[in-house]
Amino acid sequence: MAIQLYIGLVTEGDTDNRFLRSVIERLFTEIANDCHSDIIIEAIYSINMKKEAFTSMMLKASKYAYAQCGASILCIHADSDSRTLHNVYSYKIDPFLDELNDYPDEEYCKAVIPIVPIQMIESWMLADKNLLKERINAVQYTNDDLGLHRAPEAYANPKQAIENAISFVRNNRPKKRRYEIDIADLYGELGSIIELDKLRELPSFQNFETNARQIFRDLHYLL
């Protein structure tokens, strides 16, 4: 009989959620296919918590995920807002996980997978620049034209980089052919079609996948 997995997801915002849901589902399905048991990713529940101190908020999310969603795994998203993962692990993830250990297993979801993009989730949207250019109708322009010549995780503000590229395309079209694409339109679309192998070129995504595979091992689904 197949094991049904229910996943909880806490993100920093709605647009992050739209991008990550499909990415998580596709990655976890790949991992499930490597498991020795028959695993089905049954549902991903978006958990919206009132903003407060990170550890307190995530403890409430863990309890909610277990009690209200029956979640076996909780994915927690936190942008690094820097060029390394160190600070967000030191000041957010590790303190939360340490405190979570003190709470009862039968009340909290303790299989936690951090998702920590370098700077912010938009750096992952830059992992496939050709795909991004297709979606903003910019295939005729070079990466230099669009300001997209840097490595995805090298941008201090990748969201602004994408918005600047959209503005460049809009401003260089004839008025009769202009249309108002917005970065908000891209999250769900890119999240559903960007190739995982493109994301795997990013160290922060590698960290996410490593964490995910380790949790599947901890749950005794994966050797």
Q: pLDDT in tens for each of the 223 residues of the chain?
A: 899 999 999 999 999 999 999 999 999 999 999 999 999 999 999 999 999 999 999 999 999 999 999 999 999 999 999 888 999 999 999 999 999 999 999 999 999 999 999 999 999 999 999 999 999 999 999 999 999 999 999 999 999 999 999 999 999 987 655 567 899 999 999 999 999 999 999 999 999 999 999 999 999 999 8
Tell me how many degrees the CA angle 54-60-64 measures, rounded to the nearest 5.
140
Task: Tell me the residue type at 70.
Answer: G
> Which one, of 124, 97, 150, 122, lies nearest residue 207 by Cα?
124
> Which one, of 99, 78, 100, lies nearest residue 89 by Cα?
78
Query: What is the reported pLDDT for 179?
Result: 60
Bin 202: left if φ > 0, else alpha if -120 < ψ < 50, else beta. beta
Q: Is the pTM of this model over 0.75?
A: yes
Answer positive or negative: Cα dihedral of 169, 202, 42, 108.
negative
Domains and CATH numbers, the chain: 3-118+202-218 (3.40.50), 122-192 (no CATH)
